[in-house]
């Protein structure tokens, strides 16, 4: 009888593993939509709770109103920015191809404006062949813009897939806003973990998700918006393209928006637009650069942040593995890894203390 029960349990476990693998394989087709639905829900949960209290506990209405708010302040602006970005990227690439924009010309101006000691230093390190540098810079910049334009074209061709994922994300977000606490409680009950470990991991998950969405993305959007508006005010071509690039680089610690506005400021100074270059430097230091230092502690709090080097490495690794979704998945995996090892270390420490306590005193 016991052997029969053992066989039945083994068969059930195999069936459970197979069905679970098949289930996650199906979900994987929309893992990006699911991930962003969870992230958006975590950020807008406080808004939904306030609406729920004001509406007398009407969950369907509060979830619907929160979803409409998400569409109004997140989805529609993102679509408009993406359309403008596609237009600016393709137009900038066309200007590079036609020669209307020539990176080599301002590099020649930079070489001519260098003082004697700087020219001698370049000669000493064998960097005096500026024609080769100009060619590499021009071809490299053209390749980067061509890549952006090609990605924009692919995005346009895959519009149906984008719309499908967007629909899945919004549909799932509505249910998570409405039934999130029930779903979370049910998953917790079905997860074979002790309650204290489950709560710690869940808390770490929420902390990193909020930190990434509120601390990283909001700061990145603020820096990109400020940078784009400043470049637009100074008459720089394709300000939305450069603003989006600044926002993306702002997501990476130790990189930042300076990788965009500093070369632009140098370009303005070299080409004779001195006051524009000085204004951009001042705005870059005192507006764009201070946004992170002011907003991030307010939105996240310093005690929830991982070390910058770890965030940088895991974000870059996440982007390589998962694409744009890696901006969330990379730091999230790192945080769960740290939390799991912290739990293991704490359990071992408690076990050692218990063992020492249980030892009989020496005679």
Alpha helices for 75-194 (secondary structure H): 76-98, 103-113, 116-124, 130-157, 159-190
**CA within 13 Å, CB half, 191:** 15
Categorize the per-residue pLDDT at 237 as very low, low, confident or very high, splitting at 50, 70 and 90.
confident
| pLDDT number for residue 71 | 92
Q: Which residues of 160-183 are buried (b: 16+ CB within 10 A; e: fewer)?
A: eeeeebbebbbebbbebbbebeee
In angstroms, the CA 68 to CA 74 distance is 10
| Lowest-confidence segment of 35-44, 64-73, 210-219, 331-340 by average pLDDT | 210-219
Q: Is the pLDDT of residue 259 over 90?
A: no
| pLDDT number for residue 57 | 82
| Lowest-confidence segment of 27-31, 173-177, 247-251, 356-360 by average pLDDT | 356-360
| pLDDT number for residue 65 | 93
14: helix, strand or coil: helix
Tokens of 176: 């998570």
Asked if 268 contacts 280 with a C-beta cutoff of 8 angstroms, the reply is yes
Q: Is the pLDDT of residue 178 over 60?
A: yes
The span from the first CA to the last CA of the chain, in angstroms, equals 52
In angstroms, the CA 93 to CA 83 distance is 16
- The pLDDT tens digits of the residues spanning 295-329 come to 776 765 554 567 777 877 888 888 888 888 888 88
Cα-atom radius of gyration of the chain, to the nearest Å? Answer: 27
**Helix 130-157 vs helix 159-190: angle between axes, to the nearest 10 degrees?**
80
Q: Is the pLDDT of residue 146 over 80?
A: no
138-167 mean pLDDT: 62
| pLDDT number for residue 72 | 92
- The pLDDT tens digits of the residues spanning 64-87 come to 999 999 999 888 888 888 788 777
Tokens of 122: 């370049």
128-150 mean pLDDT: 55
pTM, full prediction: 0.71
| pLDDT number for residue 145 | 54
Mean pLDDT of the chain: 77
More confident of the two residues 155 and 189? 189
Domain ranges of the chain: 31-184, 194-349
Q: Is the pLDDT of residue 53 over 80?
A: yes
Q: Is the pLDDT of residue 177 over 70?
A: yes
Asked if 330 contacts 252 with a C-beta cutoff of 8 angstroms, the reply is no
* Sign of the Cα pseudo-torsion (43, 47, 52, 55, in order): negative
Helix (H) or strand (E) holding 247: helix 239-250
Question: How many Cβ atoms are within 10 Å of 362's Cβ, its own excluded?
Answer: 4
| Phi, psi (deg, nearest 5) at residue 189 | -70, -30
40-53 mean pLDDT: 89
Tokens of 35: 């991930």
- The pLDDT tens digits of the residues spanning 203-223 come to 778 877 877 777 778 888 888
| CA distances from residue 133 to 118, 140, 232, 305 in whole angstroms, order as listed | 16, 10, 29, 40
List the Cα angle 220/224/229 in 5-degree steps.
150
Q: Determine the length of the chain.
A: 363
230-234 mean pLDDT: 88
């Amino acid at each position: 009888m016991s052997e029969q029960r053992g066989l039945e349990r083994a068969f059930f476990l195999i069936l459970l593993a197979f069905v679970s693998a098949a289930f996650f394989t199906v979900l994987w087709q929309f893992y990006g939509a699911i991930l962003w639905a969870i992230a958006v829900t975590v950020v807008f949960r406080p808004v939904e709770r306030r609406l729920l209290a004001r509406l007398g506990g009407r969950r369907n209405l509060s979830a619907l109103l929160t979803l409409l708010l998400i569409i109004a302040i997140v989805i529609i602006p993102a679509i408009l920015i993406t359309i403008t970005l596609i237009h600016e990227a393709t137009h900038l690439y066309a200007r590079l191809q036609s020669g209307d924009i020539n990176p080599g010309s301002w590099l020649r101006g930079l070489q001519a404006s260098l003082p004697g000691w700087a020219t001698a230093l370049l000669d000493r390190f064998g960097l005096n062949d500026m024609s080769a540098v100009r060619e590499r810079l021009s071809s490299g910049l053209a390749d980067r813009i061509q890549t952006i334009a090609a990605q924009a074209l692919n995005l346009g061709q895959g519009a149906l897939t984008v719309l499908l994922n967007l629909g899945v994300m919004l549909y799932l977000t509505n249910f998570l806003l409405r039934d999130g606490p029930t779903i979370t409680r049910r998953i917790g009950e079905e997860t074979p973990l002790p309650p204290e470990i489950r709560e710690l991991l869940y808390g770490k998950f929420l902390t990193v998700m909020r930190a990434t969405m509120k601390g990283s993305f909001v700061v990145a959007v603020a820096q990109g918006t400020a940078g784009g508006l400043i470049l637009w005010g100074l008459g720089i071509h394709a300000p939305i393209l450069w603003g989006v690039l600044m926002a993306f680089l702002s997501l990476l610690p130790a990189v930042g928006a300076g990788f965009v506005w500093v070369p632009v400021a140098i370009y303005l100074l070299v080409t004779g637009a001195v006051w524009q270059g000085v204004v951009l430097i001042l705005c870059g230091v005192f507006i764009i650069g201070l946004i992170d230092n002011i907003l991030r502690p307010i939105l996240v709090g310093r005690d929830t942040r991982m070390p910058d080097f770890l965030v940088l490495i895991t974000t870059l690794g996440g982007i390589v593995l998962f694409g744009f979704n890696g901006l969330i998945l990379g730091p999230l995996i790192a945080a769960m890894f740290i939390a799991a090892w912290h739990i293991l270390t704490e359990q071992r420490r408690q076990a050692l203390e218990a063992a020492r306590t249980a030892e009989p005193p020496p005679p």
